[in-house]
Structure 1
Amino acid sequence: MTAEKEAVVAAQPDRPRRAGDMLPPPDYEAVMADEFRHAREAGTNAALIRFIARHPQHRLADEARALLSRRPAADPPGGTGDPDADVYRAFDQARRDRAFDSFIARHPQHPLAEEARRMMRTAPEAK
């Protein structure tokens, strides 16, 4: 039994341990809040963009969008090890240049293409 599972079972002292006890499901909102906190603490556009790409419909995505909108400069150069790092940089450039259509043309199947379409709809001055 893992330490995490043992802690959950230990927190229920009136319930005897049984083989095959399952952990309760994670608290979805707590997981989301933790992921968002990490994105904020990373202090990069890429971290906020990644959060938006992964969770575009979550209420915290709107907070990530607001934080991103106040970050006009690009991230400093350097690799993050993230396989989508180039896409995040391209999206960030498109966001800053209001060139969403070119991002969509280059990355039509990426989840951020839908975010670019949303931004085009809400920013009529977009190219």
Structure 2
Amino acid sequence: MPSPSSPEPPLPPELLQDVAATFGLLSASVRLHLLWLLSQAEHDVGTLAEATGQSVATVSHHLGKLKLAGLVRARRSGKHQIHYVDDPHVAHLVQLAIEHHRGAPAQRRRAHGA
């Protein structure tokens, strides 16, 4: 934390827009779930679809958005594309947020959704 005598320089609007865009991507619960799963281990789209309860098409669509944002990448393994997190900072942020809410009392969790 900076000392009172050395104030933090102002944040550029472009930086704030980029950060807001990242949080916007994370605001979709399915993308948040995908990033959380991928922060645990690499997965193919079928495994991710099964784990999230979504169709393969839906998961592919959301993975495409995450790839465009530079948060997720894929590599080929035989006939499968194996997806993984490409931004460890965002993966850590997702893990922290989920752990924070897992530890929250049920009443507070419900209030956030209201």
Q: TM-score range by the shorter chain?
A: under 0.3
Higher relative contact order (CA 8 A, sep 6+): 2
TM-score norm. by structure 2 comes to 0.26
TM-score normalised by the chain length of structure 1: 0.24
Give 1 or 2 for the bigger CA radius of gyration.
1
Could you say which structure has the higher strand fraction? 2
